[in-house]
């Protein structure tokens, strides 16, 4: 005989929570004041948010009050995750048959009275086909509680390991090496040339220059990212690189980081050539690519980084772009080109635990089309 007694709604709620957490990668949301209800979120799920409600709803007025509460909480989720639309599934376990549960405000509400009814509900089965075979049921209350608890704990351990792997401090190597290379090139411009502000020296050391790129010196699209014009230019870029680069290298790993840096530099240089044939140099295009990478990373990890994404990453990008547009002499097109390139390359390379193969394929296709478009503009149209 079971020592623990669960009522029907508790059993349904526990089984549904177990399924969505362990099989559909939803994570619990801490909603203040929520009693007899569970809130779950998956940014890539068929529904962004699932709410399981065991409270009794007897009439249409109570139902509309409940919908108003859901909309209030969804509005907070939108603000925290920078989302314009949040599809929500509202699963109600104790609703009178008199209540009309029509879809409202992008909220789909369904009623389930039993475990069998869950597996027969068309809305649930269409959105989550595996629910018919993966929904756990225990022969008694103790079995159900033990199985659900063990499976959710195992899922939590895996999630924690991924979190620690991604966010744990790591030894920064690539960023420091890039900074050293930039400083060495800067010194050599004075030892072997006429300084970092001399046009001939800049060109000789690999600065970006449209007429030379168009006749075959395409290597300038990359080498220009290691050449700087003046000491202030070098210091500002290396300081920015030390901060932003260290974060990206930690989050995505060394070799992905290196690929993002190089491809962002090239895309920024190509975009820069659209504006004309002036000599340009600097790591800012690649650095903006790293910001684009952080933007993509922050969006997919915004459950952990929502305040960082909203209060730091986006404002830094916006402010720096505005500075580029307002102050003469800044190659703002290189910034824009690098930003787009970094975002697309990160999408193509993927993020551990977040990216699906389809997203990565789409990222590569989009990035290649982007580079082809810039190349046609530079080498054919202009």
Q: Which residue in 18, 228, 233, 335 is the catalytic one?
A: 335
Task: Report yes or no: 232 and 190 within 8 Å, Cβ to Cβ.
Answer: no
> Which residue among the candidates 269, 284, 293, 355 is catalytic per the annotation?
284
Radius of gyration of the chain (CA): 27
Spatial strand order in the sheet of 27-28? 27-28, 37-41, 49-53, 88-92, 107-111
- 228 an active-site residue? no
Alpha-carbon span 291 to 305, nearest angstrom: 15
Residue 77: C-alpha distances to residues 26, 74, 82, 83, 143 (Å)? 15, 5, 8, 8, 35
- The per-residue DSSP string of 238-303 comes to HHHHHHHHHHHHHHH-HHHHHHHHHHHHHHHHHHHHTT-S--B--SHHHHHHHHHHHHHHHHHTHH
Cα(155)–Cα(178) distance, integer angstroms: 39
Torsion of CA 202, 255, 249, 284, to 10 degrees: 20
- Sort strands 37-41 and 49-53 into parallel, antiparallel or unpaired: antiparallel
Question: Catalytic residue at 56?
Answer: no
Q: Which ranges in the chain belong to alpha helices (H)?
A: 8-22, 60-81, 115-120, 122-127, 131-134, 141-167, 174-191, 199-204, 210-214, 220-223, 231-252, 254-273, 284-300, 302-308, 314-326, 332-349, 357-376
Active site residue ranges = 284, 335
């Amino acid at each position: 005989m079971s020592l623990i007694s669960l009522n029907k709604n508790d059993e349904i709620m526990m089984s549904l929570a177990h399924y969505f957490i362990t099989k559909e990668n939803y994570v619990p949301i801490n909603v203040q004041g929520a009693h007899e209800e569970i809130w779950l979120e998956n940014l890539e799920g068929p529904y962004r948010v699932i709410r399981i409600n065991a409270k009794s709803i007897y009439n249409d007025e109570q139902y509309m009050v409940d919908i108003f509460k859901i909309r209030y909480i969804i509005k907070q989720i939108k603000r925290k995750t920078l989302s314009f639309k949040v599809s929500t599934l509202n699963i109600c376990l104790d609703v009178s048959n008199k209540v009309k549960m029509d879809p409202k405000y992008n909220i789909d509400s369904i009623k389930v009275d039993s475990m069998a009814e869950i597996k027969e509900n068309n809305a649930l089965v269409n959105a989550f086909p595996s629910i018919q075979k993966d929904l756990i049921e225990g022969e008694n209350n103790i079995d159900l509680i033990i199985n659900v608890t063990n499976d959710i704990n195992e899922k939590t351990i895996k999630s924690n390991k991924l979190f620690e792997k991604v966010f744990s401090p790591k030894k920064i190597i690539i960023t420091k090496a890039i900074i050293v290379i930039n400083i060495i090139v800067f010194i050599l411009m004075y030892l072997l040339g006429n300084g970092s502000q001399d046009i001939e020296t800049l060109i000789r050391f690999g600065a970006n220059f449209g007429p030379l790129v168009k006749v075959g010196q395409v290597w300038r699209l990359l080498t220009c990212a290691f050449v700087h014009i003046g000491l202030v230019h070098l210091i500002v870029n290396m300081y920015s690189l030390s901060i932003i680069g260290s974060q990206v290298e930690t989050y995505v790993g060394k070799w992905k980081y290196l690929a993002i840096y190089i491809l962002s530099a090239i895309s920024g240089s190509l975009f820069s050539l659209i504006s004309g044939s002036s000599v340009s140099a600097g790591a800012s295009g690649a650095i903006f690519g790293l910001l684009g990478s952080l933007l993509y990373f922050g969006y997919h990890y915004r459950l952990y980084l929502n305040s960082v994404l909203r209060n730091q990453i986006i404002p830094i990008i916006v402010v720096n772009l505005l500075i580029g547009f307002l102050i003469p002499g800044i190659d703002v097109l290189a910034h824009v080109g690098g930003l787009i390139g970094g975002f697309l390359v990160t999408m193509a390379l993927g993020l551990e635990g977040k990216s699906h193969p389809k997203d990565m394929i789409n990222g590569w296709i989009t990035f290649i089309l982007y580079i082809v478009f810039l190349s046609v503009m530079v080498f054919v149209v202009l």
